[in-house]
Amino acid sequence: MTGVRTLLIALGLAAAAVTGVLAAGEGTAPSPAFRQWPGECVADAPFMRRNHMDLLKHQRDDTVHGGIRPANHSLNACVTCHAVKGDDGHPVTVADSRHFCRTCHDTTAVRVDCFSCHTSTPGVAK
């Protein structure tokens, strides 16, 4: 009986430890690149982490169908501001694991489809 009780207590402690780790993990930034990003985004980082895809999708429909092209929620604006320079001094494409979008998307294992059509590097939009 003592053995069973000890086992239960051990399991309980282990579960508490795991929960603690998860809770601690939730509050931290998912990638170093994200945390260290200089400058300000169109909204604060926690909001953007959760909602950037909704902002982009909302903007996408407005732009394609209505021709509404404000600068701050466009994908071009994202990749221009968040460009990561490679060894050659030029911004890296999404094929490079250092690309801003990939740092998080690789971690969370979410495939990003945008760049099968859109360019992943900054450029002068015409």
Partner 1 sequence: MKDVKTPPSAEGRGDTVSRRSLLGAALAAVTLAPGITLYAGPAAAAADGAKRWGLLIDTTRCDSGCSACVTACGAEHGWSDAGRARPDQAPQWVRKVDVRDPATGRTASLPIMCQHCAKPPCVDVCPTGASFKRADGIVLVDRHICIGCRYCMMACPYKARSFVHEPVTGQRPGSPRGMGTVEACNLCVTRVDAGGRPVCVDACAGAGRSAILFGDLDDPGSAISRRIREVAPARIRDDLRLDTGVYYQGI
Sites of contact with partner 1 (CB under 8 A): 40-44, 47, 51, 54-55, 57-58, 60-62, 64-70, 72-73, 76, 93, 95, 116-119, 122-126
Please state the three-class secondary structure of 7-75 as a single string: HHHHHHHHHHHHHHHHHHHHHCCCCHHHHCCCCCCCCCHHHHHHHHHHHHHHHHHHHHHHCCCCCCCCH
Residue with smaller CB distance to partner 1, 22 or 95: 95
Cβ nearer to partner 1, comparing 33 with 81? 81
Instruction: In angstroms, give the least distance from the CB of 34 to partner 1.
Output: 17
State in angstroms the smallest separation of the CB of 52 from partner 1. Answer: 10
State the nearest-atom distance from the C-beta of 99 to partner 1, in Å: 13
**Helix (H) or strand (E) segment spanning residue 78:** helix 75-81
For partner 1, the closer of residues 31 and 93 by Cβ is 93
- Token digits for 124? 């002068």
Angle at 57 between CA 51 and CA 62, to 5 degrees: 130
Measured from the CB of residue 11, what is the shortest distance to partner 1 in angstroms? 38
Nearer to partner 1, 35 or 58 (CB): 58
